């Protein structure tokens, strides 16, 4: 098959090469009817632009910004490491990823970080708080032509272009099913811990979790969710409080970070064997405690897949190309100590 060129498209559409270049690269200054003629010629000829050549002709690399949370969350630290590795590979594709850090539990601080991004950037991916100021900052960027992705936690009411992460309703339902099966015929209470109920992913996990427990496991009572900002010390204090206040506690589901705090409290109080613990994310620490039996199951999302997918989606949307949904779908993984990778 003969590869079609921009010159072939220009000849078929009856326009200049410069006009075809503007249409293919989504630049302004072309009449709507002319755009239709160029797109018709592209479709007729089966033209596929050489994206790398297009980036070279553009004269500069794509400038994408990644905004991650500060703090001790091991999952976020692992995601940071994967973005750093992806950043090195993307340089060969004329794509630059710059990583920024902000307290994502602080809506005003996160919104300010988004507002202070330099003009002229091509896209941003942000672990976002579902907060009015953050929504407004995302909308302002989108209105300025910046491709905005939400990462891990979504802000669906904003004008973000895409969400990169797992189905968090399904993750919460999965956690409930695991706990229900592990607890078996016992009756009792289940403690749930979240980083913040202003984080959409934690709220969605809570909803899915409570839905399944109430419908399928009537002998289990889910206690009011407690927030601990994904900090180990706060999570430990919350866990100790749950154990102290509820002698019939049979399970704990931590929907956020700070798993080391739950582990420390369970081990210190001698409740490893009688309290089921289901958590999120396979890290060096959670792997160790899964093997030891303090953690009974982990619900995971692949950080490497997320970082690579983010870079691919930002580039595709910037270039007006379709997203390959099957490639970019982030799966929910369930790990027991018997099937760790």
Residue 214's CB is within 10 A of a number of other CB atoms, namely 13
Ramachandran assignment for 229, one of left (phi > 0), alpha (psi -120 to 50 degrees), beta (any other): left
Q: What span, in angstroms and rounded, lies between the C-alpha atoms of 326 and 316?
A: 14
CATH architecture of the domain with range 60-165+303-328: 3-Layer(aba) Sandwich (3.40)
Per-residue model confidence (pLDDT) at position 320: 79
Torsion of CA 154, 157, 159, 160, to 10 degrees: 10
Other CB atoms within a 10 A radius of the CB of residue 330 amount to 17
Residue-level pLDDT at 2? 60
Choice between 52 and 270, residue whose per-residue pLDDT is larger? 270
CATH T-level topology, domain 168-300 = Rossmann fold (3.40.50)
Return the CATH class of domain 6-49. Answer: mainly alpha
Apex 267 CA angle, 76 and 210, nearest 5: 60
pLDDT band per the 50, 70, 90 thresholds, residue 58 = low
Domains 6-49 and 168-300 share a fold: no
Q: From CA 323, how far away is CA 51, in angstroms rounded?
A: 15
Closest CA relative to residue 161, chosen from 328, 331, 318? 318
- Is pLDDT of 1 > 70? no
The answer to whether 154 and 131 have CB atoms below 8 angstroms apart is no
Over the stretch 216-250, which tens digit does the pLDDT of each residue have? Answer: 999 999 999 999 999 999 999 999 999 999 999 99
What percent of the chain is predicted at pLDDT more than 90? 79
Interval 86-121: pLDDT, tens: 999 998 788 999 999 999 999 999 999 999 999 999
Q: Which helix (H) or strand (E) holds 251?
A: strand 249-254
User: CA geometry: angle at 171 spanning 170 and 174, to 5°?
Assistant: 85
Q: Which helix (H) or strand (E) holds 85?
A: helix 74-90
20, 54, 14: which is closest to 39 by C-alpha?
Answer: 20
The domain ranges of the chain are: 6-49, 60-165+303-328, 168-300
Distance of alpha carbon 98 from alpha carbon 64, whole angstroms = 6
pLDDT at 49: 67
Which of 27-36, 103-112, 236-245, 326-335 is least confident?
27-36
Q: How far, in Å, are 22, 282, 285 from residue 259 at the CA level? A: 51, 11, 8
Which stretches within 117-258 are classed as H helix? 132-143, 168-183, 200-216, 232-245
End-to-end CA distance of the chain: 43
How many Å apart are CA 112 and CA 207, to the nearest integer?
A: 30
Q: Is the pLDDT of residue 53 over 90?
A: no
- pLDDT tens string 131-160: 999 999 999 999 999 999 999 999 999 999
């Amino acid at each position: 098959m003969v590869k079609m060129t921009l010159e072939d498209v220009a000849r078929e559409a009856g326009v200049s090469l410069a006009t075809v270049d503007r249409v293919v690269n989504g630049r302004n200054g072309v009449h709507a009817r002319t755009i239709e003629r160029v797109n018709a010629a592209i479709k007729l000829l089966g033209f596929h632009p050489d994206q790398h050549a297009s980036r070279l002709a553009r004269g500069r690399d794509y400038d994408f910004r990644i905004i991650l949370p500060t703090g001790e969350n091991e999952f976020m630290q692992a995601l940071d490491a994967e973005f750093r590795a992806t950043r090195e590979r993307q340089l060969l594709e004329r794509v630059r990823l710059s990583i920024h850090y902000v307290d994502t539990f602080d809506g005003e601080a996160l919104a300010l970080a988004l507002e202070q991004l330099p003009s002229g950037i091509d896209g941003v991916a942000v672990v976002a708080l579902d907060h009015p100021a953050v929504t407004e900052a995302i909308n302002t960027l989108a209105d300025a032509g910046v491709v905005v992705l939400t990462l891990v936690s979504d802000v669906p009411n904003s004008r973000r272009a895409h969400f990169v992460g797992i189905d968090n309703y399904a993750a919460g339902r999965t956690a409930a099913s695991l706990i229900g099966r592990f607890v078996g015929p016992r009756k009792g209470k289940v403690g749930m811990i979240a980083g913040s109920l202003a984080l959409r992913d934690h709220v969605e996990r809570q909803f899915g979790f409570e839905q399944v427990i109430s419908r399928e496991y009537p002998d289990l009572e889910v206690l009011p969710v407690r927030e601990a900002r994904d900090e180990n010390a706060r999570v430990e204090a919350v866990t100790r409080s749950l154990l102290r206040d509820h002698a019939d506690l049979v399970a704990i589901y931590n929907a956020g970070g700070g798993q080391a705090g739950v582990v420390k409290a369970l081990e210190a109080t001698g409740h490893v064997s009688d309290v089921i613990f289901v958590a999120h994310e396979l890290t060096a620490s959670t792997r160790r405690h899964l093997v030891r039996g303090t953690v009974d199951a982990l619900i995971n999302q692949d950080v490497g897949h997320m970082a690579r997918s983010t870079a691919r989606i930002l580039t595709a949307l910037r270039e007006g190309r379709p997203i390959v949904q099957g490639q970019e779908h982030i799966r929910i993984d369930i790990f027991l100590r018997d099937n760790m990778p």
